[in-house]
Amino acid sequence: MKNYYPCLTLLVLFFTAFSGNVLAQSSTYGQQKTLKVEATVSNGKVTINWEAFDPVSSFRVYKMSGGSWPSTPDAVYSNTVFTHVDSSINNNQMYEYKIVGLRSGIDAYGYISVAVNLEENTNKGMVAVLVDSSIYDDLTAELDVYKKDLIGDGYEVTIISYDTNQSAEDLKGDIIGLSNTYSNLTTVFLVGNMPYYYTGEMSPDGHTDHHGAWPSDLMLADVDGSYTDIQVRYTNSTDDRLSNEKNDDKTDQSFLSSDADIQIGRIDFTDLPAFSQSLISLYQNYFEKLHEFKTGEFVPRNIGIVDDNFLSFSEGFSQNGYRNFAPIVGSDSVFDADIITTTTNSSALFSFTAGAGTYTSINGFATTASLASSDLDGVFGMVLGSYNGDPDVQNNLMRAMIANGNFLTASWAGRPNWFIQHMALGKPIGYSTKLTQNNVGLYEPTGLYPRSMHVLLLGDPTLKSHYTKNVGNLYTIRSINKDTAMLSWNSVAGVLGYNVYRSTEENEGYVKVNSSLLTSTSYNDAISPDTSYYYRIEAVELVTSPSGSYYESSTGSYIISDYNAAPVPVTLISFTAEQVEKEVELNWTVAQEINFSHYSVEKYDLEANGWYEIAQVDPCGDGMSITDYQLIDQNPILGKNIYRLKMVDYDQTFEYSNIQVVLFEGGQRYGEFEITPLPARNYIEVQTTFAGDFDSREFAVIAANGREVIRQTITMYNNRIDLRALPAGLYFVQDINQLGETQKLVITD
């Protein structure tokens, strides 16, 4: 028996050739089906607000209870009321609300997950990371960092080198084995050219030449479902990959036989010839940008972008953007805009686009080739275009989307509709993906193909929409008798405090050692003098989102307290110099001073080409705590002022700090520069500082592929760089002096 989705017997839906009714209204179908919902909370109370793109007859509000919606609404409002207040909520509990705007023909839906001071889940279960054995050894360092980030986020982790010569059926069997071994297995992340399961007979994008078995990670996520390979007999004359015959290791079912049990995602950068980077570089780059996002080094703008090029479809695909993004970033931060322009010139946390497609393109968005040469600052991407949903095809658009720039996830959303509002309260995208995959009627409108086997996530399923910034510059020393580890770190703005975790193993067994949240940036831990310990410091934040408030910890910064390590006389945390009115202010911070004599503050004589001492500063701390020092140079010279610290021990050995340069002229620090205009066409001018009339600076223009295309020396009187020989695209301008500052440059036609 063929397993079609019933509605397809009545509809012929081709993404590239459909010509439906043009809307008479100014709003789109996607907007008509959406209510943008957000909330404000206080102790015991939530106020829910919503917006409708078009008028409705009335609004109904439902509050979820026991995992389902009540049959009758909790409240009914006229079409002029856009607020609902619930004063019966408890702190540290998540609630879900559904708001329905009734309208003849097209109802509008909005969803929101709400909480007040929701406590962080520090026991999120086991993540199994299965890595293609052919790339495993080359990713050892990246996988170690990734594992630490997961541990700091509350997961247990097992990373497995996996032989990809095995079949998809073998892979599923191994995942079932992992779920039996680890009763707390919640998540699987596939890295590399892992086998793809093909199943069913379907065509979610409506194309007859794309009909048949589709690749499915849901076959791997449903560990206890019942699936067969004895029924479907379908031959696709265009693409044998989609053919499905009896006993061919492609299963019959087009839809889940039971709920997905595991949150699953994958990255696979094989067979992307449009990219010039090596295969290993693509994986390394992904893990690097993943770490930067998870540690707060890359913080995109908290906005959602909707770029709908399928306005004629009554399914209203863009509801996947409007409805999902509003509870996470706020209704006023969801914009209709071009994704490429937005994420090239700036950044966006979420984006959705839909348009006529091929395996390697979406009309109005991008091609795989253009993505390969772009550097887009997005994170969570949703797309919908014909043929895009097959991730194993050469140069697949969704895989290309996360192979470059800062995008970390991609999903084919709209058939069925996705629901990710839970991410506003710290839930990972894998959580919302699994609910979407299992959804049939819980969240409406489901769209075509609910519970279809083709629904999958490309990217790390543990990703959250917000991460607290990690502490930086973590230090530890042992007391003289080695029975105390003295820890210190830099503060993080906006956090409530810090927690310290300790273990005798690097990647497991961490236990919190402080009894209450620390508000200082140091901690002394009583330990065994003959044992080495690993420490993780996490910053704790109360995050406020458009859906409420929840506690979150950073992924953590790590350090070892080695009992064999010899005491270091002085640990320099930072050394800075800056102009303050008519003086130069020098500041430095140290974490310890043991057997230490003094600091010699030195300045460079440009005429004599040598260093000389301008001041000597004795240590004033207790030797074990963080100590701040400041010195004022009251006699800076016009032009360059160059400083360094010489840190001298009692035995007269010494170390130097980094060098600080201050240009005492115009107030701008030497080495900084600006380029105008942006974007550029024929030229740019470099605005910077010079030590004098005859000083010069060397700059390079570098293409997106890393190739230097222009190198030019500029002066105070000649600061223009000619760009007319360069094609339009993304470039970088780099200062070739010792500071090496780099800025982004976009050249337009």
Angle at 742 between CA 739 and CA 747, to 5 degrees: 155
Whether residues 330 and 425 fall in one domain: yes
Residue 176 lies in a domain: yes
If one counts every other C-beta atom within 10 angstroms of the C-beta of residue 603, the result is 21
Whether residues 406 and 295 fall in one domain: yes
Whether residues 647 and 692 fall in one domain: no
Q: Are 146 and 131 in contact (CB under 8 A)?
A: no
Residue 631 lies in a domain: yes
d(CA 641, CA 455): 60
β pairing state of 334-336 and 304-308: parallel
Residue 737 lies in a domain: yes
Whether residues 622 and 742 fall in one domain: no
Instruction: Give residue 194's pLDDT.
Output: 96
d(CA 84, CA 48): 5
Angle, helix 279-294 to helix 140-152, in steps of 10 degrees? 20
If you ran DSSP here, which 8-state letter would residue 232 be given? -
* Full residue range of the structural domain in which residue 691 is found: 673-747
Whether residues 153 and 217 fall in one domain: yes
Residue 395 lies in a domain: yes
Give per-residue pLDDT as tens, 303-359.
999 999 999 899 999 999 999 999 999 999 999 999 999 999 899 999 999 999 999
Give per-residue pLDDT as tens, 147-199.
999 999 999 999 999 999 999 999 999 999 999 999 999 999 999 999 999 99
Whether residues 149 and 249 fall in one domain: yes
- The torsion angles phi and psi of 609, rounded to 5 degrees, stand at 55, 50
Q: Which residue has the tokens 């090029």?
A: 309
Instruction: Give residue 7's pLDDT.
Output: 31
d(CA 147, CA 135): 17
d(CA 747, CA 724): 10
Whether residues 637 and 678 fall in one domain: no
Q: Respond yes or no on whether the N-terminal peptide bond of residue 679 is cis (omega within 30° of 0).
A: yes
pLDDT at residue 24 tops 70: no
Residue 457 lies in a domain: no
Rounded (10°) CA dihedral 689, 692, 696, 701: 10
Residue 10 lies in a domain: no
Instruction: Give residue 669's pLDDT.
Output: 47
Amino acid residing at 206:
G
Residue 356 lies in a domain: yes
Residues of the chain with pLDDT > 90: what percent? 70
Whether residues 219 and 366 fall in one domain: no
Residue 387 lies in a domain: yes
Amino acid residing at 631:
L
Whether residues 110 and 140 fall in one domain: no
Instruction: Give residue 21's pLDDT.
Output: 28
Whether residues 515 and 403 fall in one domain: no
Report which of residues 287 and 678 the model is more confident about.
287
If you ran DSSP here, which 8-state letter would residue 71 be given? S
Residue 468 burial (C-beta neighbours within 10 Å; 0-12, 13-18, 19+): buried
Which of 664, 683, 713 terminates a domain? The answer is 664
> In the chain, count of helices (H) and strands (E)?
11, 45
pTM value? Answer: 0.79
pLDDT at residue 14 tops 60: no
152: domain CATH number?
3.40.50
| Structure-token pair, residue 56 | 């409705």
Instruction: Give residue 568's pLDDT.
Output: 62
Q: Are 379 and 467 in contact (CB under 8 A)?
A: no
pLDDT at residue 16 tops 50: no
Instruction: Give residue 694's pLDDT.
Output: 56
Least confident of 276-280, 306-310, 692-696: 692-696
Q: Give the residue-averaged pLDDT of 496-502.
A: 97
Q: Find how far residue 284's CA is from the centre of its chain.
A: 15
| Structure-token pair, residue 457 | 């996530």
Which of 602, 635, 664 terminates a domain? The answer is 664
Whether residues 418 and 307 fall in one domain: yes
Whether residues 37 and 166 fall in one domain: no
pLDDT at residue 370 tops 50: yes
Report which of residues 120 and 666 the model is more confident about.
120
Enclosing H/E stretch for 150: helix 140-152
Q: Which residue has the tokens 């290791």?
A: 249
Positions of E strands within 300-415: 304-308, 334-336, 348-354, 357-358, 361-362, 366-367, 378-384, 409-412
Angle at 66 between CA 61 and CA 70, to 5 degrees: 35
Least confident of 401-405, 461-465, 493-497, 610-614: 610-614
609: domain CATH number?
2.60.40.10
d(CA 539, CA 494): 10
Instruction: Give residue 662's pLDDT.
Output: 87
Q: Give the residue-averaged pLDDT of 547-570.
A: 85
| Structural domain count of the chain | 5
d(CA 588, CA 202): 65
Which of 537, 561, 585 terminates a domain? The answer is 561
